[in-house]
Amino acid sequence: MCAFPLTNARTIDGGLTITLNVAPPELFTGTTILVDFSDADSSWFNVWSAQTGAGTDFLVTHVGNTTTVQLLIASVTLDEVDLLAGETRTALGSMGLPLSHPETTLNIQGELRDSTDTVLVTNGGSCKASGQSPPG
């Protein structure tokens, strides 16, 4: 599991576009890739559940204060969501990989824009995992 803080340290509200992808893409088959986003008000869930590709390219659910995106294809760009001035939300990525699966990387990239479509911040991160052989 890996954590990615999503922060708008600016004094103005912004629109955040998030891209999730698995690398290399051919290693995506047989994996379960989940990213949990803090989303107490369900606002991000409401945007992404209405997005083209929801249910085919990715699954999106909301339980409690968390919206979960499960990748069904190797790369998804989620529609823009609001990230208010001074607001921080967290993305927690996890990968379920078959036994002996080669190393796989989950990348998350975020781009924050203001109301004039000017890029305020571009940021991202990644984490790696591989399938584990059973002890024996």
Cα–Cα distance between 45 and 59 in angstroms, integer?
Answer: 11
> Does 135 reside within a domain?
no
Amino acid identity of residue 73, one-letter, is I
Assess if residue 18 is contained within a domain.
yes
CA 14 to chain centre: 17
Domain count, the chain: 1
> Which tokens in the block code for residue 72?
């069904």
- 8 A C-beta contact, residue 61 and residue 78: no
Report pTM: 0.88
User: How far is C-alpha 62 from the geometric centre of its chain's CA atoms?
Assistant: 14
Q: Which two tokens stand for residue 93?
A: 């990525």
User: Domain range holding 51?
Assistant: 2-125
Domain-embedded: residue 131:
no
What CATH number should be reported for the domain holding residue 46? 2.60.40
Any domain includes 136? no
From first to last of the 136 residues of the chain, give the pLDDT tens digit: 788 889 898 889 999 999 999 887 666 667 788 999 999 999 999 999 999 999 999 999 999 999 999 999 989 999 999 999 999 999 999 887 767 667 788 899 999 999 888 898 888 888 877 766 444 4
Asked if 53 and 59 touch (Cβ cutoff 8 Å), the reply is no
d(CA 130, CA 21): 16
